[in-house]
Amino acid sequence: MKPGLVVAIRVNPVDCQSVLALMDASGLPRNNQTFASMVSMALSGLLQEVRSNGVIDEPDPFLYWDQMGQYHKGEKGKGRSAIAETVRGQGKHIKLPVHKVTEEEVLAESANQMTSEQRQAGLRMKELQIKQEYAKDSWSVQDQEEWDRLYKIVFPEG
């Protein structure tokens, strides 16, 4: 289990679109990602930028429970404790359902993987992105055309 909290939030339409725009502007692929993971990455990236710019302080990890403990309590925590007690009581005799992966699931997942051409185009896009960020004066129409062409390769669904 990853540290932190799993939260459910409603993201307004403008922010939904902004998350996608941020992913695209960052050169991060959207395929094979859930929208929740993209929102999480966007929030983490923006918070890191705010910390880096000194708008807020870097959190002290030793104060985590003092600050966040109240949000880890409640019915969900009690439910987990009850489940843990049940599992402990069963010991070695607990039977867990096993999900058998079908051939169709494997083929569907492999279809979502990036091709070699997409990976190469993505690497070239990163190079162009660096050029655009650090050498703005040398950014040309040809660079923009190449970026647009590569974008269609990496993100065929738009």
Q: Which domain holds residue 145?
A: 114-158
CA distance 20 to 26: 10
| Total structural domains within the chain | 2
Question: Is residue 61 assigned to a domain?
Answer: yes
Question: Is residue 98 assigned to a domain?
Answer: no
CA distance 48 to 92: 44
Question: Is residue 34 assigned to a domain?
Answer: yes
Ranges 22-26, 81-85, 109-113, 141-145: which has the least confidence:
109-113
Q: How confident is the model at residue 75 (pLDDT cuts 50, 70, 90)?
A: very low
Question: Is residue 77 assigned to a domain?
Answer: no
Question: Is residue 78 assigned to a domain?
Answer: no
pLDDT-above-70 percentage for the chain = 72
Question: Is residue 157 assigned to a domain?
Answer: yes
pTM over 0.75: no
Question: Is residue 152 assigned to a domain?
Answer: yes
Tens-digit pLDDT profile for residues 103-135: 666 555 555 677 888 888 888 888 888 888 888
Question: Is residue 42 assigned to a domain?
Answer: yes
Token pair belonging to 93 = 């005799």
Single-letter amino acid code for the residue at 80: R
Query: For the chain, how long is the longest CA-to-CA vector?
Result: 68
